[in-house]
Amino acid sequence: MEPEPTQHPARPATTSATVPDLAHAESVPVAEPRHALVESALGNVTIVAIEDSLTGLYFDEHTRRPPADSFGQRVDLAADPTLAAAARQLHEYLAGTRTQFELPFAPAGDDFHQAVWSIVARIPFGGTITYGAIATELGNPALAQRVGQAVGANPLCVFIPCHRVVGSTGKLTGYAGGIERKHTLLTIEEPAPEIAGRLF
C-alpha cells in the first residue's frame, strides 16, 4: 500500500517560478521481485513474486522467458509463505487433487493484456475457449490474432490457464511451455480418450 501523501501548508502565490527541492523529496520504495525454483511433474519451474502477489511462472524452456536477473533474489520456499503456497497448490493441481487456485496474482501488462488474461482466468477447469471467442467477448472478433499474442505473453501460465485456449477448430495451438505440456495439462483436467478425440 502506498503511503498517504504528505500534506503541505498552502504557500502564498508568487510571480516567480519555484524549483522543487528534489534533493529532499520523499521517494516511495519499489518492491523487489524474488523467486524460487520448484521441481514439478512438468519439469523445473521458476515462480516469481513481488511482496504478497505472484507475478510469474516460467518453465526452463519457456518461450519469452525473461532474463534471470529480472527474477530478483532466489529464496528458500520454506521461508517464504507466498511462494510456498504457490508451489503447494501447483503440486496439488498436477496431482489431480485441486481444480482451482487460491492465490494472489499481479501479472504485469497493459490494459489489453489484462483484459485478455482476466477472461482466461475465468475459463473453468476442464473447459476451453478459442482465441476468436475471447476477441468476440472483448467486442471485436478481428482481434483474434492480437488475443493470441496476449495469451502467449501470459506470465503466469498454469495459474492463469492459457493452456485452455485453443484454435478455432478446437485443435491445440502454440503454448509457451510447449505443446506436450499443453496436452498434459488438458489431460489432467479431462480423461485422455475424450480429450484426444476432441482436440486431435
Catalytic residues: 162
**Sign of the C-alpha dihedral computed for residues 155, 160, 163 and 168 taken in this order:** negative
DSSP string, 148-168: HHHHHT-TBTTTS-GGGEE-T
DSSP SS3 for 59: strand
What letters, b where the CB count within 10 A reaches 16 and e where it falls short, cover 157-169? Answer: bbbbbbbbbbbee
- Assess contact for 11 and 17: CB atoms under 8 A: no
Burial of 139 (C-beta count, 10 Å sphere; 0-12/13-18/19+): exposed
How far apart are alpha carbons 88 and 110 in whole angstroms?
Answer: 29
Return the amino acid letter for 112: F
Residue 158 Rama label (left phi>0; alpha psi -120 to 50; beta): left
What are 147's three cell numbers?
488475443
